[in-house]
Amino acid sequence: MPCFLSASTLVVMPFLMEIDAIVFDFDGLILDTETPDYESWRELYAEFGVALPLDVWHRNIGATGLFNPYVYLEEVLERPLNRKAVHDRRKRRDNELLAAQTILPGVEDVLAEARRLGLKIGLASSSDHAWVDGFLDRLGLTNWFEAVRCRDDVDGRSKPHPAVYQSALNALGVQAGRALALEDSPNGVQAAKAAGMYCAAVPNVMTQSLDFSLADVRVASLAERPLAQLIDEVLNGRK
């Protein structure tokens, strides 16, 4: 069967021989779960008359355990809280905001192009399987991924630790230096680079002001350019 490739694809195809796999982050990269998370906490803090600065919240984006919103609120208020009541109220609002979220622009196009190019496709997340798998199923994306690795696969170690990326690479059977990670947070970029991978930063509205200097390339959205072009830029060191 004839294979018809665009001129731009023909130009970058030699570089694709250096990449065997693409590994997605989940939160903030495939689905914007980060804005609802922050907004639901910000609204709850406001009910107590307290601000939740974005620069404080940034500590935990792409990771877990680096910032505890219950502890921070109790410290500011100088009193303990009924954490169960706070959790339930905040979670109801988070779920309302999450229900309105859809797959982020360009994700499905990148998945389809990766498959056309014969790349293995994985996912590495600091969230747990119950969270990630549930959303992948709801969004109809589960079958795109040959390997999905979460923090509960690596003894709870989340990014910026590289363990979850290392686990995904092992599951895919791919060497780190032949894989490209897609990340929306500096913690994620740090994890991918520590694992020895190439990394493209795709900041979202919550992370666009952060430092992505460790990334090999930065794009505003996965819809910004074809995957083949992105790989070409990564391999040629164009930031």
Residues 126 and 152: their CA atoms lie apart, in Å, by 9
Active-site entry in 25, 153, 184, 216: 25
CB atoms within 10 A of CB 117: 17
Q: In angstroms, what is the C-alpha Rg of the chain? A: 19
Joined together, the tokens standing for residue 132 give 């990630």
DSSP state of 82: -
27 is catalytic: yes
As a dihedral over the C-alpha atoms of residue 217, residue 222, residue 228, residue 233, rounded to 10 degrees, the angle is -10
152 is catalytic: no
126: Cβ contacts below 8 Å, ≥ 6 apart: 27, 62, 63, 64, 150, 151, 158, 159, 164, 187, 188
Cis peptide before 80 (omega within 30 of 0): no
Active-site entry in 27, 37, 153, 216: 27
Q: Is 10 exposed, middle or buried (0-12, 13-18, 19+ CB in 10 A)?
A: exposed
Joined together, the tokens standing for residue 136 give 């992948």
CA distances from 202 to 104, 107, 127, 217, 230 (A): 11, 11, 18, 9, 11
Give the catalytic positions in this structure: 25, 27
